[in-house]
Amino acid sequence: MIQKQVTYERLDKLLSRLGYGSRNDVRYWLKEGWVTVQGSVPKSPSERVDVDTVEIEGAPLDHPHGLTIIYHKPLGSVCSHKESGRLVYDDFPARWKERKPAFSCVGRLDKETSGLLFLTDDGQLNHQITSPKYHVPKRYDVYLAEALRGNEAELFAKGTLMLDGDDTPCLPAELIVHDARHVEVVLQEGRYHQVRRMFAAVGNHVEGLARTHVGALSLADLALPAGGYCVIAPEQLLNAILGVK
């Protein structure tokens, strides 16, 4: 039998770490009767409460046990909590940016890269997806400024390609050629601007870049529009990435 997970937490701390507002805000909301626990308004904001029994204006709390999403990152938004310009967080409820533990991107995609991205507050999941130790391949669709020279697949596969500023060569990567300027690349690791730098290292320039797959999970199968997302349990996401049915 599956047992329900019951978590107790101090009410004001809980609401502030889920991004609802400050501890002072919580005090005010209690006075106004906007927060209830098991249907009644608690006497003190410091009360320890079962997180699943709290409601704000009649609505249950927003993912109090953790939050993981699959997201279709659009072009032009930045994977950051605080940089200027359009951020990936602009596509989510504003409180998610304030959550603790932080709700962060699993690896990063550049501003000018679109595609499959995960965000989570689960540090272990983040590590399992990004660490080269777990061998989760990431697949990218790439449009190039120049026609291929012909030796790129061999160079990428060798595992000897050095990128400017790095001390170790890239791990072997696969190149799938659709035509002279349209390819796919499958990487075993996630270095800074890696696909763009790999093509720069062979005298080319990336004009269009999208991540289409992480492990066995394909963005095309999810039917998420650019900017769209869905919430998923961490174990379910890991199974989808590892191809476990």
What amino acid positions are annotated as catalytic residues? 110
Contact 97, 81 (CB under 8 A): yes
Please give the Cα distance from 54 to 125 (Å, whole number): 27
**CA 22 from centroid of its chain's CA atoms:** 26
Binding residues for ligand URA (CB under 6 A): 109-110, 113, 193-196, 209
- Residue closer to ligand URA, measured from CB, 16 or 194: 194
The rounded distance, in Å, linking the Cα atoms of 100 and 102 is: 5
Least distance to ligand URA from the beta carbon of 211, Å? 6
- Residue whose CB is less far from ligand URA, 63 or 81: 81
> What is the nearest approach in angstroms of ligand URA to the Cβ of residue 196?
4
CB of 239 to ligand URA, least distance (A): 24
First-to-final CA distance of the chain: 21
User: To which H or E segment does residue 96 belong?
Assistant: none
Min dist CB 157 to ligand URA, Å, is 17
Judge residue 23's burial from the number of C-beta atoms within 10 Å of its C-beta, 0-12 exposed, 13-18 middle, 19 or more buried: middle
By beta-carbon proximity to ligand URA, the closer residue of 50 and 110 is 110
DSSP H stretches of helix in the chain: 11-17, 23-32, 123-130, 152-158, 194-201, 219-222, 234-242
The span from the CA of 66 to the CA of 232, in Å, is 10
- Cα dist from 195 to 101, 134, 143, 145, 163, whole Å: 30, 20, 11, 14, 10
Q: Is the CB of residue 222 less than 8 Å from the CB of residue 70?
A: yes
Q: What are phi and psi of 114, to 5 degrees?
A: -110, 175
Q: Using the minimum distance from each CB to ligand URA, give the nearer residue, 113 or 120.
A: 113
Please state the closest distance from residue 79 (CB atom) to ligand URA, in A: 9
- Tell me which amino acid residue 227 is: G
C-beta closer to ligand URA: residue 56 or 201: 201
